[in-house]
A and B are shown apart, each in its own frame.
Chain A
Amino acid sequence: MAEEWKRSADVVIIGAGIQGCSIAYNLAKLGVKDVVVLEKDTPTAGSTGRCAAGIRAQWGTKMNCQLGLASLEILEHLHEELGMDIGLHQGGYLMVAYKESEFEQLKKNVALQNSLGITSRVVNKEEAYEICPTLSAEDAVGFTYHHRDGHADPFLTTIAYHKAASEKGVRFYKFTECTGIKVKGEVKGVVTTRGEIDTPVVVDAAGPYSQHIAAMAGIKLPFYSERHEILVTEPVEFGVCPCMLMSFSGNYYIQQRPIGSIIAGCSPEGHPEDYSLGNTWNFLEHMSRVIVKLLPKLGGVRVVRQWSGMYNMSPDKQPVIGESKEVKGFYISAGFSGHGFMFGPISGKLLAELIVTGTSSIPIDVLNYDRFERGELIEEPAVV
């Protein structure tokens, strides 16, 4: 298909995952005319299409609580805003603590969340078993729950942004790889496998490859990517595990999707750098043991598929969102460390505001990457 090639643009975004598509849509919504998105494969082909797509507001820092809640609010109305169903399912997240110290932290998080308008609560074992009818967690010491947390379909959500952005005039070039960034004191343009585009603004939304894109502009991002495995079972009657079960010390997340299948994953031991997308027996057996222990009635359910995807890790497991202080016009939205799907709706909005107006409606200055040099890491207790 002969497609017109734009030789110049106001903004060029690299990557059409949830981040790139949300940023593109929000820029167009704010009136930016010439937005181009480059995608080396097809939209959702990166981490977004491989993720568990859990969404939550149960966080442990004020900023993440605010971002998580703002994202939930956007997701709750996204169908109307974008005109496409996004497969939203709010069955809640049930956090499971196995150590007293962990439970103390979860309780502190709930107090903080409540002070910010998030109606999470501490629940006892009986309530936990009501929320998740097949749960067996006799060794747990405590639980917290927030009913608005849940899941959205990662494909539908991203395509909804993609389609709405296209309709507002954003140009998406798929199967088009960015191979260089032209910088002369500030951003001048991009080089791709299909030609060059002049632009004063580049947004790095390349997910697991964000540090490679930044390097093209001479910027060193202290990120790396690690492989995370995940499995899915055949569909079973809905309701056996309607919430997301999550434990930091237990190192797992398990959730039944509305179509009935159960997805489950955990973090790799030692968090090694790994850009491959392989699958292991080790994971399959370990994860199956975890599921059968927690949900003993599901032993007869069959695993039908396993796959893997990458987390783009930052030193404090918090993203970098904002403009580079070294290269004017180079913006970054990456390093989400495994939580980039749920933050996509709000981070895309805030970054678009930053590009257009210079400020954002929720302050995110602390998310600049110079925090790593200053040693001012963000301490978020609610990550795996």
Chain B
Amino acid sequence: MTEEEKERNVIVCRCEEITMGEIRDWIARGYDTFDELKHILRVGMGPCQGRGCREIILREIAKMKNVPITQVDPGTFRPPSKPVKLELLAKKEGGE
């Protein structure tokens, strides 16, 4: 295996099992924002919500587009919220 092939096989997003090769291929096709990659590959949507892969992916986008990482859109940020059980939400009467 060449160095390049080895790198391509590295799992970048462990939650969704996405490799560097897949990320590179989709960026090369023009899907070069974090949100687009998220929609196609589900990267950043796993249990860790992207803490494990976001930085690496943003760096790869910057590298392939040849722009500083500060110019790469970090994507829609959804603040971590505490999931609530349906029955608790359903119990409250009246709303507001």
| Interface residues, chain A, with chain B CB atoms under 8 Å away | 1, 42-45, 49, 155-156, 159, 163, 166, 172, 233-234, 281-282, 284-286, 288-289, 291-293, 298-305
Contacts and interface: CB of A to CB of B under 8 A. Distances in A.
Interface in B14-46: 29-33, 35-36, 39-40
B86 A292 contact: yes
B6 interface: no
Contacts, number: 69
B39 A155 contact: yes
Interface band, chain B: 20 to 34
Contacts of B90: 285, 288-289, 291-293, 299
Contact of B95 (A44, A233, A234, A282): A282
Contact of A303 (B31, B32, B86): B86
B5 interface: no
B39 A159 contact: yes
A377 B13 CA distance: 51
Contact of A302 (B32, B39, B84): B84
Contacts of B32: 1
Contact of B89 (A43, A172, A303, A305): A303
Contacts of A43: 36
Which A-B residue pairs are the 10 nearest by beta carbons?
A299-B87, A302-B83, A288-B89, A155-B39, A292-B90, A288-B90, A289-B90, A282-B95, A304-B83, A288-B86
Contacts of B89: 284-285, 288-289, 303
Interface string B60-84: 0000011000000000001001011
